[in-house]
Structure 1
Amino acid sequence: MNDRTLDTSDLDNYMGKPLQPGRMKEPLHNNDFRRWAQAMHYPNLLHYDTEFSAEGRFGKLVAPQSFAVCTDDGHGATPACVGRIPGSHLIFGGDEWWFFGPRIFAGDMIVNERIPFDYVVKETKFAGPTCFQRGDNNYYNQAGELVARQRSTGIRYRKDLAVEMGSLTQTEDPVWTPEQLTELHDRKFAWIESLHDLGHGKRFWDDIDISDTLPERVFGPHTIASFTTEWRAYLFTIWGGTHRVNPDFEAMGFDPAMAGHENDGVMERIDPELTDGAYFGPSRGHLFPEWARYIGMPRGYGYGASMGAWIIDYLAGWAGEWGQVVHSNAFYRGPAFTGDITIQNATVIDKLIDDEGRSVVQVDCKMTNQLGTTLATAIAEIELPRRSSGGPLGDGAKESGE
């Protein structure tokens, strides 16, 4: 390997070929949804409060739409990280989601069918030659219904080039004064109030205009503790929680110091602590600043799959329980770092009846930090009920809308 080579020759052996599916070991529980909503900073009563949800559309707790990725054994990254790239590491580059209608409830068993899709190598300022690899995750419930499809993008790069080319000067967390934290809390609560204000009500498609803006959402500052809470909400991080795929990260070209036994079912029965990516292996850069710098990051940083969940939760919370996100295509520009806050805004850019007869609004969503740095962008379509009949959401709105 010369100074600027990224060898992707092995990847063609995997494209389009199904991998071992992701499978849970036990049915889902309401507490899985509560833990997820809490970890993703999503205080929507529909997903954690029994009394509130019992009075709503579903009559019981329902998982957030973003929860589908929680049922996988690897953040949805597995089909976007196949084949050997010597000397490489991986971060998330984005997620495209399609939702097909069925919701996830306690007692469900979800299976993820995984198929590598494609890849391309591009030159980046971050790490020189960089591989953008995509893979599909198809989430089915026990009835065989397709709940959602996630097309993940893995960014695979030379660790040594990222360290050489990256800026590691901003290694310290920003400091927030008590006054600033009080102001942040007020901004956070304004968005929470918007969820309470909608309650079990319906946000009608008829009432939405192009150029309408969604309420600002703010959360953070992020910390090692908050990122750890996110990690623990993923079911695959629990010992014995999923059927393991036993990946060989060194064989995939990962730097040996970042390989380890994450998701190794054999080692899980011998010394499970070694299988926990938060402590050892490819995921520990998120929670240990020295390992973050080892792979070219200045300090602890958040999970790409969580960024995808933040986007879906933000849009689904605005839509309310009578609406749903039907499609979202998100591109991640950079991670959330410890000490930073995350700010979400979105604008309605189109309004239409789609080919399936659904009443849809299209939104342009942007995620930034306190410095105005863009963390992610997304274009998404959200189905909303109509005052007139037309489709399941429209009929529901007609029956009880005022």
Structure 2
Amino acid sequence: MSTEQAGRAFDEATDFDIDDADIERDRAAAGSVAAVRDLAHVGTATPEAIRNFAFGYGDDNPLYVDPDHGATTRWGGQVAPQIMAAVLNTPLRGDRLPKELRGGSYRGIHAFVSGGTWEWYRPIHAGDRLYSFKGLESVEVKKSEFAGRSVIRVNREVKFNQRGEVVGVYRTLIILTARKKARETGKYKDVPEPAYTPEDIAELDKVFAAETVRGTETRWFEDVTVGESLGTLAKGPLTTTDMVVFHAGGYGFVPYGLRTSRLNWRNRQRIPAFYVDNEYGVPDVAQRVHWDSEWAKAIGNPRAYDYGVLRECWLHHRLTDWMGDEGFVVRQHDEIRKFNYQGDIQYVTGEVTAKRREHDMNLVDVELRAVNQRGEETTRGEATIALRSRDHGRSLLPTPPTEVQQKVWDIMDRHAQLGSEHR
């Protein structure tokens, strides 16, 4: 089956426009939250899970991958990259939201991550088990150059550990567009295919060779200057292997998930709209746009492309390599501006924009960006890092909002109550 035939077949199977009823359901649901009852690919941050997650986006920081390295740091042992909170979840017992507060289903509508904001409050230690509650925070309707009308949803997820400590709050920006309209615009049909010579790869290898991890050498707050560069981190050229490695590291795409054999059949019975026949007539996940270029072409892109959350990990990698073992990322915000297609290289850079002392924390603000080999800015971000000070010692960790902490305790109490009722 040709790409054009696949596109037409997909249009016939998923010829849906955004439904006003789904938008109204979202508006009714905004602000409601519920305990997350899904089992993620990884629920507990074991030493091996931490290592594999870090390797999954190309990070070999000893603080994350060497169980013995962290013993002499402020953390007292191995910790995970803070952004690992995105993929960790152990199911909670909790009350399901009533149907009218679950939001729209948007059947047959294409969804992709356009950005996100993390606020972190505690590290993830080896052995920690993470839980969460989440809900739709806001919904907005806009006109999209790529696909006509689009819906902008902000989901908020609160992550906490077995001790009831708030680890982080994650807000994800999701763009929903009609698939057929996205293909018909042809906006990205002229994106050139990359081609590299051995000399090009040799230049890229020089960037890899120059990358360093700050590690045990303390990054002192007093030594940081506004305008200072964080250096360059290279990622790519993007391949199908990168997607496989990222999933193997722990990214499970919950609650949809990737399954095989009988488990895949069960998943198809549960969410049939998530599956579309491939060129062999085999039902396969619509998510394969991230590794199947022919399928990506069928819905309006020139090649397969990465996950937004993977690029969030890359920006986080730039921060953690620079800050050293004593640092703590307080906040990270990113905006996905362009697709990162197979074959593309991303050069991740950063610059210090401000520094201040606030709430007993020594804070450094930075701007981040990722630029591809064509010189296009594909991702923009900003972050705040807490560093150690010669004058004030280690920064205290941030205090979570009172309403968030109280909701965590309420969720945990309900979890325990439902557990005792089933004994």
Deviations along 1:322-360, whole A, 9 cap, x unmatched? 011101111111232110111111111111112x22111
Secondary structure of the equivalent of 1:222?
A: coil
Secondary structure of the equivalent of 2:59?
A: coil
Measured in 2, the distance between the counterparts of 1:63 and 1:274 equals 35
CA contact (8 A) 1:136 1:150 kept: yes
Measured in 2, the distance between the counterparts of 1:72 and 1:290 equals 33
Written as runs of structure 1 = structure 2, the 5 A alignment for 1:80-119 is 82-85=103-106, 87-100=108-121, 102-119=122-139
Written as runs of structure 1 = structure 2, the 5 A alignment for 1:157-306 is 157-170=177-190, 173-191=193-211, 194-195=212-213, 198-234=214-250, 236=252, 262=257, 268=263, 271=266, 280-306=284-310
Match of 2:330 among 311, 315, 326: 326
- The equivalent residue for 2:84 is 67
> How far off its partner does 1:205 sit?
1.0
- The equivalent residue for 1:311 is 315
Query: Is 1:125 matched up with 2:125?
Result: no
Measured in 2, the distance between the counterparts of 1:392 and 1:20 equals 32
Q: Does the C-alpha gap of structure 1 residues 20 and 370 become closer, same or farther in structure 2, counting only changes over 3 Å?
A: same
> How far off its partner does 1:125 sit?
1.6
CA contact (8 A) 1:213 1:346 kept: yes
Query: Is 1:147 matched up with 2:167?
Result: yes
- The equivalent residue for 1:18 is 33
Q: Does the C-alpha gap of structure 1 residues 282 and 346 become closer, same or farther in structure 2, counting only changes over 3 Å?
A: same
Deviations along 1:193-213, whole A, 9 cap, x unmatched? x31xx3302101111111111
CA contact (8 A) 1:303 1:335 kept: no
Secondary structure of the equivalent of 2:353?
A: strand
CA contact (8 A) 1:168 1:297 kept: yes
Secondary structure of the equivalent of 1:71?
A: coil
Q: Does the C-alpha gap of structure 1 residues 377 and 325 become closer, same or farther in structure 2, counting only changes over 3 Å?
A: same
Match of 1:361 among 356, 364, 374: 364
Provide structure 2 residue ranges, at least 5 long, that are not aligned to the other structure.
1-14, 91-96, 276-282, 398-423
> How far off its partner does 1:178 sit?
1.4
Q: Does the C-alpha gap of structure 1 residues 64 and 4 become closer, same or farther in structure 2, counting only changes over 3 Å?
A: closer
Indicate the structure (1 or 2) with the bigger Cα radius of gyration. 2
Q: Does the C-alpha gap of structure 1 residues 181 and 234 become closer, same or farther in structure 2, counting only changes over 3 Å?
A: same
Measured in 2, the distance between the counterparts of 1:65 and 1:129 equals 35
Provide structure 1 residue ranges, at least 5 long, that are not aligned to the other structure.
74-78, 238-243, 246-260, 395-402
- The equivalent residue for 2:385 is 382
CA contact (8 A) 1:13 1:83 kept: no
Secondary structure of the equivalent of 1:297?
A: coil
Q: Does the C-alpha gap of structure 1 residues 119 and 85 become closer, same or farther in structure 2, counting only changes over 3 Å?
A: same
CA contact (8 A) 1:4 1:128 kept: no
Measured in 1, the distance between the counterparts of 2:225 and 2:327 equals 16
User: Which one is further off, 306-315 or 137-146?
Assistant: 306-315
- The equivalent residue for 1:33 is 50
Q: Percent identity?
A: 25
- The equivalent residue for 2:24 is 9
Deviations along 1:166-199, whole A, 9 cap, x unmatched? 33435774121112111101111212xx31xx33
The total of aligned residue pairs comes to 360
Match of 2:64 among 7, 26, 47: 47
> How far off its partner does 1:309 sit?
1.3
CA contact (8 A) 1:108 1:142 kept: yes
Q: Does the C-alpha gap of structure 1 residues 361 and 305 become closer, same or farther in structure 2, counting only changes over 3 Å?
A: same
> How far off its partner does 1:10 sit?
2.6
TM-score normalised by structure 2 residue count: 0.77
Measured in 2, the distance between the counterparts of 1:220 and 1:304 equals 15
CA contact (8 A) 2:137 2:155 kept: yes
CA contact (8 A) 1:358 1:390 kept: no
CA contact (8 A) 2:330 2:384 kept: yes
- The equivalent residue for 2:411 is none
Secondary structure of the equivalent of 2:194?
A: coil
C-alpha root-mean-square deviation of aligned residues, in Å?
A: 3.1
CA contact (8 A) 1:93 1:132 kept: no
Q: Does the C-alpha gap of structure 1 residues 125 and 11 become closer, same or farther in structure 2, counting only changes over 3 Å?
A: same
Secondary structure of the equivalent of 1:280?
A: strand
User: Which one is further off, 64-73 or 141-150?
Assistant: 64-73
Measured in 2, the distance between the counterparts of 1:362 and 1:123 equals 33
CA contact (8 A) 1:57 1:200 kept: no
Measured in 2, the distance between the counterparts of 1:85 and 1:270 equals 22
Partner amino acid for 2:118?
W
